[in-house]
């Protein structure tokens, strides 16, 4: 018997050794050509890039995989407990493989069932990072082998960190940080028990537990996780019961830009990031971008521009509905198919249901639910005739003139925009304007762009008129001509002839620029020339200096990269952008230092390292660790001085005169020191105003995208300057008035602003001028460019290359 038992024991031992050998051989074969788990040490997952305003407000997020990477130390214990309870309660005890779980899964597989779970978090890391999703025994073995190796190479916290940042949790979110924002609009540190439990319920099958499509299954799975947390001692049973009684509480975070009214600004930043670092860095690099945007100022910029464009457009009449539709049983269906202007939330699309002589009944486009679908509600509203009176003037294709009643304007099935009235009682008719424009506000000392509006609506047109539209600046270019003169021997009291002038155009004819209105005033000072925007004086001054000098200053100020040195260019007939003009005026506002406009303050990589900083001024003493009676730290400004500070003050003072007595007197109502210049091109195709206080420069351009006359009155002083006033009232609210600083060494003398001669300060024509050392009002009356009032002075013929500038108009009418 004993011998028989020994025989069977021997056979069993041999069999066990054979099995062990076979298993070892199989495992060894599976170990061959496994992925290198050491890549996890250098793993950098695709991380979302985020753009922030200057106050930290979130503007936009860009990602192919919506992920925010969090180190394990930043992940709350409650959130870790939830995932461990749901996925791997023994995570901190096992060595990468849960033998009990594997045995259970293997048993089901042997019996012919499907491959089941049982994977530890470490195994899931191995699968997600190094293997495929193939459901096979071979993959499970490889997964187990890799898990054992990973556990030997990395700490438990590192493995858990990789897992919690990599897993897909639905709603386009990868990792717990992005999912927390997507589902609850919260950071992970703000999540409550029921919320962390819901996130921990998602890894198995995010779509199966979608809170909108499968709310019951979502709650059931969440409650299961809560029970596991209580069972494992992570929470009390009382807390678990309370959490299970709570609704899902989903609070979907809206996509896109979050800081309102900043779509053009955000897109400009996006384009700059791609230009600097490429598309991959933007969508996968996890950059943190702090912009220069002032959110409050940005809202006011948009409002000011929109108000002006709407007022101008409505004065030209009603152009017809956005669309039309047949109204059947449910008028909401055709209305839902029309895309509204997403960045003009004050407006709603509406469909006309009925119209009478004095009112129109409309149905409002339903609001969107959290799922993105239109809700079932059907709201109706009324537009009174008084709230659409501007539309009685018809400007439709094939139909013009005026009508008298509401039903002559709108018909059943017309789809239009409406806006709720300020008093909340009824709606008013709206239409997206055809005329467009741009506004840029900049800190002249740093070049930081505080606000940028590139058009009425980004949803209507993505074309950014602040940076992409090249238009003639007209007379707003003249301060560059006058600054060049003041920097080269002229004074504000220098006298230039304001009289007709004829210049050969090189084609047998003559170019004969004119002042606005056609009149001329005879000899006048430089100050009077810029205050009244005299074209003839400007041409003579540019001719006297030489256009090469003017072109050099225009390029130095950044208005043009290369300016053709032809006289029509002195009147603003070249093309440039609002951003470039604001940058040029910033040079005059800051005392003559070069300016590099910037929409970005700094950029940090995914690890928080600063890779770009706009302000590179040096301050060696700023980082001293303690105070020891040393001198106050000073920022070293090594930017190029492109204009004499005294010249900068002189041209600023002259442009203060534009506001006080010249073409922009509407700006006086601000009640603070302001300098600026209007600009209007031929036939009022372009309307400009660029102005500044000591600490803020703002430029406005208005016009049609396809240059078209806007009509009499659409001048820089009548159309653009009021936008400046509207914006600056809000931008300067609560700030003390600041005078422009006079550089040391200048002498202030009263002169007659017409003759340029010294006078007493009592006369009505007296003005205080600032003169540089060694200069002052002339002792004798001298007139520059005194060729007579009607003659054709000898001048260099204009080459054929300048023909386009001449044909397109001299610019600078007013």
Of the candidates 114, 115, 124, which has an alpha carbon nearest to the alpha carbon of residue 86?
A: 124
By the 8 A CB rule, do 664 and 658 touch? yes
Q: For residues 731 and 810, give the distance between their C-alpha atoms in angstroms, rounded to a whole number.
A: 34
Write out the H or E segment, with its range, that includes residue 452.
strand 449-453
Please tell me which residue in 87, 151, 268, 656 is annotated as part of the active site: 87
Q: For residues 635 and 618, give the distance between their C-alpha atoms in angstroms, rounded to a whole number.
A: 6
> Does the annotation count 151 as an active-site position?
no
β-bridge partners, 495 = 525
Q: For residues 1 and 7, give the distance between their C-alpha atoms in angstroms, rounded to a whole number.
A: 10
Question: Interior CA angle at 457 toward 456 and 462, to 5°?
Answer: 115
β-bridge partners, 603 = 289, 612
Q: For residues 409 and 416, give the distance between their C-alpha atoms in angstroms, rounded to a whole number.
A: 11
Residues 6+ apart with CB under 8 A from 12: none
> Does the annotation count 87 as an active-site position?
yes
- In three-state secondary structure terms, 174 is strand
Residue 272, token pair as written in the block? 């700059």
Residue 234, token pair as written in the block? 């992570």
Residue 804 has φ and ψ, to the nearest 5°, of -60, -40
Q: Is 781 exposed, middle or buried (0-12, 13-18, 19+ CB in 10 A)?
A: exposed
Q: For residues 148 and 452, give the distance between their C-alpha atoms in angstroms, rounded to a whole number.
A: 56
Question: Interior CA angle at 134 toward 131 and 137, to 5°?
Answer: 95
- Specify the length of the chain in residues: 814
Please tell me which residue in 147, 261, 475, 476 is annotated as part of the active site: 475
Looking up tokens 């470039």 gives 580
CA distance readout (Å), 126 to 151, 203, 702: 10, 15, 59
- In three-state secondary structure terms, 403 is coil
Residue 117, token pair as written in the block? 């779970």
Q: Tell me which residues are annotated as active site.
A: 87, 475
């Amino acid at each position: 018997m004993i011998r028989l038992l020994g025989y069977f024991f021997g056979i069993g031992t041999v069999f066990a050794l054979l099995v062990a050998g076979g298993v070892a051989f199989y495992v060894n074969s599976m170990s061959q050509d496994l992925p290198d788990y050491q890549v996890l040490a250098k793993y950098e997952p695709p991380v979302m890039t985020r753009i922030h305003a200057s106050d930290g407000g979130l503007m936009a997020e860009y990602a192919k995989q919506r992920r925010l990477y969090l180190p394990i130390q930043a992940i709350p214990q409650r959130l870790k407990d939830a995932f461990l309870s749901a996925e791997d309660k023994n995570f901190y005890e096992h060595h990468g493989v849960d033998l009990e779980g594997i045995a259970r899964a293997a048993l089901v597989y042997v019996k012919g069932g499907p491959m089941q779970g049982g994977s530890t978090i470490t195994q899931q890391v191995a699968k997600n990072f190094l293997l495929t999703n193939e459901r096979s025994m071979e993959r499970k073995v490889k997964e187990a082998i890799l898990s054992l190796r990973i556990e030997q190479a990395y700490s438990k916290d590192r493995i858990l960190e990789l897992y919690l940042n990599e897993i897909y949790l639905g709603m386009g979110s990868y990792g717990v940080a992005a999912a927390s924002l997507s589902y609850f609009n919260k950071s992970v540190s703000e999540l409550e028990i029921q919320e962390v439990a819901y996130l921990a319920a998602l890894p198995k099958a995010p779509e199966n537990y979608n809170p909108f499509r499968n709310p019951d299954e979502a709650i059931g799975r969440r409650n299961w996780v809560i029970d596991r947390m209580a069972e494992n001692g992570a929470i009390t049973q009382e807390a678990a019961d309370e959490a299970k009684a709570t609704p899902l509480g989903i609070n979907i975070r809206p996509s896109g830009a979050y800081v309102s009214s900043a779509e053009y600004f955000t897109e400009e930043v996006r384009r700059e990031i791609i230009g600097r670092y490429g598309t991959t860095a933007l969508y996968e690099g996890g950059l943190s971008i702090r912009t220069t945007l002032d959110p409050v100022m940005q809202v006011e910029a948009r409002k000011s521009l929109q108000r002006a464009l709407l007022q101008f457009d409505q004065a030209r009449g009603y152009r017809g509905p956005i669309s039309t539709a047949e109204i059947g049983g449910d008028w909401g269906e055709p209305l839902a198919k029309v895309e509204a202007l997403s960045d003009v939330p004050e407006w709603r699309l509406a469909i006309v249901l009925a119209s009478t002589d004095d009112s129109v009944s409309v149905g409002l486009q339903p609001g969107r639910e959290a799922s993105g679908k239109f809700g079932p509600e059907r709201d109706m509203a009324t537009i009174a005739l008084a709230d659409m009176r501007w539309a009685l003037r018809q400007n439709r294709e094939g139909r013009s003139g005026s009508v008298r009643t509401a039903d002559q304007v709108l018909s059943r099935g017309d789809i239009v925009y409406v806006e709720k009235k300020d008093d909340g009682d009824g709606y008013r008719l709206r239409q997206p304007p055809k005329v467009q424009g741009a506004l840029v506000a900049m800190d002249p000392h740093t070049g930081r762009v505080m606000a940028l509006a590139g058009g009425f609506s980004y949803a209507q047109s993505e074309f950014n008129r602040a940076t992409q539209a090249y238009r003639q600046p007209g007379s707003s270019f003249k301060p560059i001509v006058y600054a060049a003169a003041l920097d080269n021997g002229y004074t504000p009291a220098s006298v230039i002839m304001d009289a007709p002038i004829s210049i050969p155009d090189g084609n047998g004819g003559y170019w004969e620029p004119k002042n606005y209105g056609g009149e001329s005033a005879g000899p006048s000072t430089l100050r009077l020339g810029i205050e009244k925007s005299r074209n003839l004086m400007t041409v003579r001054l540019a001719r006297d200096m030489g256009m090469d000098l003017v072109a050099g200053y225009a390029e130095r100020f950044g208005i043009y990269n290369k300016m053709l040195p032809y006289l029509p260019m002195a009147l603003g007939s070249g093309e440039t952008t609002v951003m470039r003009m604001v940058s040029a005026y910033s040079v005059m506002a800051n005392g003559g230092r070069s300016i590099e406009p910037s929409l970005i303050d700094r950029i940090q990589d995914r690890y928080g390292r600063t890779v770009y900083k706009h302000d590179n001024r040096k301050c060696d003493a700023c980082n001293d660790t303690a105070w020891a009676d040393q001198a106050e730290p000073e920022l070293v400004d090594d930017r190029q001085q492109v204009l004499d500070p005294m010249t900068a003050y002189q041209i600023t003072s002259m442009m203060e005169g534009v506001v006080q007595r010249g073409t922009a007197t509407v700006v006086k109502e601000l009640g603070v020191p302001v300098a600026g210049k209007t600009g209007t091109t031929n036939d009022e195709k372009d309307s400009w105003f660029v102005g500044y206080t000591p600490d803020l420069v703002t430029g406005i351009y208005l016009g049609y995208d396809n240059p078209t006359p806007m009509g009499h009155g659409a001048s820089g002083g009548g159309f653009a300057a009021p936008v400046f006033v509207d914006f600056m009232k809000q931008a300067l609210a609560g700030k003390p008035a600041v005078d422009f600083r006079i550089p040391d060494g200048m002498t202030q003398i009263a002169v007659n602003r017409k003759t340029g001669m010294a006078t007493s300060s009592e006369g009505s024509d007296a003005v205080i001028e600032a003169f540089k050392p060694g200069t002052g009002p002339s002792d004798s009356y001298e007139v520059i460019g005194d060729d007579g009032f009607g003659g054709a002075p000898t001048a260099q013929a204009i080459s054929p290359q300048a023909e386009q500038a001449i044909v397109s108009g001299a610019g600078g009418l007013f």
